[in-house]
Amino acid sequence: MLKTTICLPGKLRRYAHVLLVLCFLLCTTVAAFAQKKSIVKGLVRDEKGEVLAGATVVARNAKTGFTAGVQTDSVGLFHFNNLPEDGSYSFQVSMISFEPQTVSGFTIKSGETISVAIKLKSSSTQLNDVVVIGYGAVKQKNLTGAIASVKAADLNMSVASSFQQTLQGKATGVQVIQGTGQPGANVTVQLRSNPSFANAGALYVIDGVPVDAALPVDGPKALSGARYGSAGARQSPLNFINPNDIESIEFLKDASSAAIYGVRAGGGVILVTTRRGKSGKPSIQYTGSYGAQQVAKMYEVLNTKDYMEQRNLLHQEVWMKNNKVAPYYGTVDAASVATPYKPIFTQAQIDTTPQYQSAMDAITRQGYTQQHNISMSGGNGKTSYFVSGNYFDQKGVLLNSGFKRYNGRVNLDQVISDKVKVGVNLIGSNSISNNTITGGQNEAGGIVTAAMYFPANLPFYGPDGSYTANPMYANIPNPLSYETVEDQTKTQRLLSNAYGTWEIIKGLTAKANFSYDQSNVKRTNFLPTTFYYGAKVGGLASVASSVSTSKLLEYTLNYTHSFGKRQTLQALAGYSYMLNDFENMNAGNQQFVSDIVSWYDLNSGAGAKPVVGTYKTQDIWASYFGRAIYQLDDKYTLTASVRRDGASRFATNKKWGIFPAISGSWLISEEQFLKNNAVVDFLKLRAGYGETGNSNFPATAFEIYGTRGNPWFGENAASSTAIFLKQAANPNLTWETAGEFNAGVDFGILRSRITGSVDYFNKNIRNLIAWMPFPSDFTVSGVYGNSGTTKSTGYEIGLQSKNIIGRKGGFSWSSNINFSHYLNYWVKRSPQSLATLDKWKDASGKNALFNGAYGYVADGLFKGQFGSAPALMPGMLPGGIIIKDIHGFDDKGNLSGPDGLLTAADQTLLANLDPKFNFGFGNTFTYKNFDLNIYFSGMIKKARSPYYTDYYRIANLQANMETYGWNTMPVSKDRWTFKNPTGDFPTGLSDSRYASYQNYSSYYILDASYLRCRNITLGYSFPASFFQSQHTISGLRLSLDVQNPFTITSYPGLDPELTLDNFYPLSKSVVFGVNVTL
């Protein structure tokens, strides 16, 4: 007997009996409906007679409209139990990589068993699969642009809190950037590369509705010297969608595909299609998972004994340096120094001090994730519906962190008549994020940095139970005190849209679409007196909230017409109007009578200057757009589109922009000279050019004036608030426009055993928007302007293969791999940009990298004795980094080659901080009803500079450990010292003469290439025959998933993928999942 236990959140337990009653009524209804029916059995094979597992079979009653669907099991069999007897039946079979097949004319009689045998014909690379494009859909074989498509069935959804996390490495040209492992944190999806300061991320379009990210709200700013503040990240639109509700996702990567969305498509377009109801009996599906998590990798720090010994050693080095002791620091005999060396800790103290727990271990914990999703869909010939609900809960692996989200979605489509159809879609989300401080504006840098710095010879708690402070530098709090900080973000979002279509005449359809999107974000923050920065001001509290709304009204006309059997024309014309409003409010105070007050009563704070602020912006967009798709002989396709966008944020003479595109494809495999070729099944060439825009710069770019507090005027001056000139006006600021050429080939060979695509693109971004600073003696600091032109070139390769095709449920193996290369550099800079460009940087060309790392070239470590330093760096300390002489300046200030001097001119290009190659590959193995999926992704030649972490702290031990008592990492024991003259790491002593050169040298540019196993998933799907004896469950799947099990990299930092080393570490997890279909 199979027992299933479902754990509900606390608030739902009281309704458990209601759910049970509903389930009972549903089962009773199904049982009653099942009376007086019969059975159909069938077998699905391919052209070679091999059985096909996982094919979808839909039975349809021509008289009553009744439909039911099942899937074939591991040996190609399917069963329909007790179909209604009245009427004639047809059976439609479909499967990826095969053409759909329908057989009809079957009559069901009581007590009879009907056998159906169906053969499917292989199709080349899913040529007839429909792919969503902007404002429409086309067959895959007719695509003319670079579009990557991912279906929900190809992704592992059981453990992901957001859809983006499941995309890593799955689609060519799609980079998923996870800057932090914080639960509920934003994950950025970048299409190809985009060398732009305006940071135009991809535009998300959900069921035809363009959706903006929810704007963040700030934590408390500086209040009377408090040094804490942590701004929220801008959230991706996909963060509020239940991943299980997504049917497919298309990535419009090139400009010819994305230009239909105009100025908002500079970073590409991501089209998300959610699941909708289908005709047939109600289908209920439950998906649940639970898993344990732990930190994938954490910094190591010195233990208590090593810490005390290293402090003694460093203290002795400082003493020798200050007294110029021979042979490394001078010529003085150590015995002759007036003040002899005295260790900080005696050997007895080292031996008797307890070995305290590592601070890194103290701030980490066992985390978990759980997710429960239930959905119901169905419909008849005129009405279809889909309803779902989701609960996701994650306990973070760092103290005081976690994330919960509740989702709900309702979709209803209704056919009013043969010509009119209407529908509504509602998506609601409520999330709660408990944020642990991981960096930002606070001096400490967050809980990870605080744990790294905390002295290892101190206990976390004092005798009275209070948090122990570092007596040498209390400004970095005790790492465990972060647990007392209250920092919570609540986000509610509602996306609703309603549409109506009207077929005016045959082939001409009008559509009206209205959507309303509202996001409410509230962040509450309290720093208690148990936390250092709260104690300084008697408790610090703040509340910040924002409301963003977006209203969209869109009208389109679609026309489709065939001219005989050879020619087809699809035409689109449309108008769009969008109004976006954003309001923000924040308030803060300090000096509360008790920590109990928290942020609930800001007015009770006694702060001398409470903070209150409000802010509001509005953007209006108006657009006209059109597109035509012409097809000849189903082999030649030509697509042309144009969009005219107007935006309120630009100056009067710059509000409108036009974005055209044209592309075409040639299906060579349909030509007579290649048709029915034994090797090549499918071959298509495509090419296109398009232009897109980017207006993603701050709405404050045109704010000339602002308010400022505390100016003093007159003889009897007093503090007041005044209007001041904030920045210079720039009425010529205009669109950032990207023109992109793309050429590609799609192919399938050996009866589609191997399929793939190759793309090349060349993208120029003109009128790059950037902040352009003025000289320091100007009244204002700068202005937003158009700073030049950049170029991005690259290629992408995607391959899929069926390595072994099993027979009758036997062993099968399929693989996929994607690979991409990009290069971003400057083509032209504006005169203003050239005026401030450093002489050692190329103004344009392939060496003028957009994201280059510049600095000094390191030439190893100086390991000699005093007086034998290189001529370029006389008197340098042993163990210091040697810098190469690259250039000097001539009389005119130009670079002149090596000059025997160490100056700023010796700087040069050190590395490209953009990865040279991105890749992902996976393998899927199946045997009978078992499946195993293994997926990897990575980057090659990815340079990274962990300047403010890792090795930089070793090179500054004199300041960090000697002056402040901070801890450091074990690799510091391999630094150069007089006791370790062959050490591989630089000395920990400060050398003010050369530190500014050494700290910005190639020594700290590290290789962050990596290969990461993303997930290993083992699943078992119960065969259809398992459910023959009952009529409630029609499908059951169990899975075990391991996420981020290991990473291969030489990068010594926290993680090569994270954007900052002191942020939240990634986690690895083991998750059990179950999927039940009723």
Q: Which of 751, 755, 752, 700 is closest to 729 using CA atoms?
A: 700
Residue 93 shares a structural domain with residue 214? no
d(CA 4, CA 2): 7
Mean pLDDT calculated for residue range 759-768: 94
Contact 526, 230 (CB under 8 A): no
Residue 386 shares a structural domain with residue 513? yes
Residue 152 in any domain: the answer is no
Sign of the CA dihedral running 1051, 1056, 1058, 1064:
negative
Among 24-38, 201-215, 365-379, the range scoring the smallest mean pLDDT is 24-38
pLDDT, residue 3, reads: 36
Domain stop point among 93, 121, 149: 121
Residue 795 in any domain: the answer is yes
Residue 380 predicted with pLDDT over 70: yes
Q: Residue 1024: helix, strand or coil by DSSP? A: helix
Residue 644 in any domain: the answer is yes
Q: For tokens 């409108």, what's the residue?
A: 656
- Burial grade of 891 (CB within 10 A; 0-12, 13-18, 19 or more): exposed
Residue 22 in any domain: the answer is no
pLDDT, residue 326, reads: 92
Residue 302 in any domain: the answer is no
pTM (two decimals): 0.84
The type of residue at 109 is: K
pLDDT, residue 10, reads: 44
Residue 530 shares a structural domain with residue 625? yes
Tell me which H or E stretch contains 333. none
Domain stop point among 121, 148, 171: 121
| Three-class HEC string of 111-126 | CCEEEEEEEECECHHH
The residues, ordered by sequence, that sit 6+ positions from 981 with a Cβ below 8 Å of its Cβ are 863, 878
**More confident call, 969 vs 32:** 969
Tell me which H or E stretch contains 316. helix 304-322
pLDDT, residue 72, reads: 84
pLDDT, residue 718, reads: 52
Q: Residue 697: helix, strand or coil by DSSP? A: coil
d(CA 374, CA 389): 6
d(CA 161, CA 371): 8
Residue 387 predicted with pLDDT over 80: yes
Contact 128, 99 (CB under 8 A): yes
Distances (CA, A) of 484 to 295, 398, 525, 599, 939: 21, 13, 11, 14, 38
Q: Which of 206, 136, 228 is closest to 550 using CA atoms?
A: 206
What's the mean per-residue pLDDT of the chain?
A: 85
pLDDT, residue 937, reads: 92
Q: Residue 669: helix, strand or coil by DSSP? A: helix
Mean pLDDT calculated for residue range 1013-1023: 90
**More confident call, 560 vs 29:** 560
Tell me which H or E stretch contains 533. helix 532-535
Residue 595 lies in domain: 203-276+291-296+365-850+1009-1077
Residue 32 predicted with pLDDT over 50: no
Q: Residue 170: helix, strand or coil by DSSP? A: coil
What's the pLDDT band for 235 if we cut at 50, 70, 90?
Answer: low
Span between the terminal Cα atoms of the chain, in Å: 18
What percent of the chain has pLDDT above 70? 88
**More confident call, 55 vs 346:** 346
What's the pLDDT band for 547 if we cut at 50, 70, 90?
Answer: very high
pLDDT, residue 710, reads: 53
pLDDT, residue 156, reads: 55
Distances (CA, A) of 812 to 74, 805, 928: 11, 5, 9
Residue 106 shares a structural domain with residue 212? no
**More confident call, 440 vs 888:** 888
Tens-place pLDDT, residues 56-101: 888 888 877 777 878 787 778 888 877 887 788 888 888 766 777 8
Residue 1055 predicted with pLDDT over 80: yes
pLDDT, residue 562, reads: 92
Mean pLDDT calculated for residue range 962-973: 92
pLDDT, residue 224, reads: 36
Torsion angle of the four alpha carbons 243, 248, 251, 252, in this order, in degrees rounded to the nearest 10: -140
Please give the angle made by the CA atoms of 673, 676 and 682, to the nearest 5 degrees. 85
Residue 83 shares a structural domain with residue 227? no
What's the pLDDT band for 230 if we cut at 50, 70, 90?
Answer: very low
The residues, ordered by sequence, that sit 6+ positions from 995 with a Cβ below 8 Å of its Cβ are none
d(CA 396, CA 501): 46
Tens-place pLDDT, residues 563-608: 988 999 999 999 999 999 999 898 999 999 999 999 998 988 888 7
Residue 428 in any domain: the answer is yes
Mean pLDDT calculated for residue range 329-334: 92
As given in the structure block, the two tokens for residue 782 are 């700068």
Q: Residue 699: helix, strand or coil by DSSP? A: helix
As given in the structure block, the two tokens for residue 1017 are 């998933």
Query: Alpha helix (H) ranges present in 381-495?
Result: 447-453
Residue 884 in any domain: the answer is no
pLDDT, residue 22, reads: 37
Among 43-47, 724-728, 1034-1038, the range scoring the smallest mean pLDDT is 724-728
Residue 373 shares a structural domain with residue 480? yes
d(CA 263, CA 939): 31
Mean pLDDT calculated for residue range 261-286: 88
| Of the ranges 23-27, 356-360, 1034-1038, the best mean pLDDT one | 356-360
pLDDT, residue 96, reads: 62
Contact 178, 187 (CB under 8 A): yes
Question: What CATH number is given to the structural domain containing 532?
Answer: 2.40.170.20
Residue 74 shares a structural domain with residue 212? no
d(CA 171, CA 937): 11
Instruction: Count structural domains, the chain.
Output: 2
What's the pLDDT band for 949 if we cut at 50, 70, 90?
Answer: low
**Which is it for strands 203-206 and 209-211: parallel, antiparallel or unpaired?**
antiparallel
Q: Residue 417: helix, strand or coil by DSSP? A: coil
pLDDT, residue 25, reads: 35
Residue 1018 predicted with pLDDT over 60: yes
Residue 647 in any domain: the answer is yes
What b-and-e string marks burial along 875-890, b requiring 16 or more CB atoms within 10 Å of the CB? ebbbbbbbbbbbbbbe
Residue 102 shares a structural domain with residue 235? no
The residues, ordered by sequence, that sit 6+ positions from 969 with a Cβ below 8 Å of its Cβ are 299, 300, 301, 302, 452, 950, 953, 954
Q: Which of 845, 848, 856 is closest to 887 using CA atoms?
A: 856
| Of the ranges 9-13, 188-192, 420-424, 667-671, the best mean pLDDT one | 420-424
Tens-place pLDDT, residues 248-265: 889 999 999 999 999 889
Residue 108 shares a structural domain with residue 216? no
Question: What CATH number is given to the structural domain containing 85?
Answer: 2.60.40.1120
Q: Which of 271, 268, 272 is closest to 173 using CA atoms?
A: 268
Please give the angle made by the CA atoms of 180, 183 and 186, to the nearest 5 degrees. 55
**More confident call, 445 vs 194:** 194
As given in the structure block, the two tokens for residue 162 are 């957001």
pLDDT, residue 782, reads: 80
| Three-class HEC string of 218-251 | CCCCCCCCCCCCCCCCCECHHHHCCHHHEEEEEE
What b-and-e string marks burial along 781-797, b requiring 16 or more CB atoms within 10 Å of the CB? eebbbbbbbbbbbbebb
Residue 720 predicted with pLDDT over 80: no
- Burial grade of 3 (CB within 10 A; 0-12, 13-18, 19 or more): exposed
Backbone phi and psi for residue 916, each to the nearest 5 degrees, phi listed first: -75, -40
Residue 14 predicted with pLDDT over 80: no
Residue 228 predicted with pLDDT over 50: no
What's the pLDDT band for 709 if we cut at 50, 70, 90?
Answer: low
d(CA 208, CA 554): 10
Residue 585 shares a structural domain with residue 721? yes
Domain stop point among 65, 97, 121: 121
**More confident call, 30 vs 183:** 183
**More confident call, 789 vs 615:** 789
Contact 289, 317 (CB under 8 A): no
- Burial grade of 995 (CB within 10 A; 0-12, 13-18, 19 or more): middle
d(CA 171, CA 792): 19
pLDDT, residue 507, reads: 92
Contact 28, 35 (CB under 8 A): no
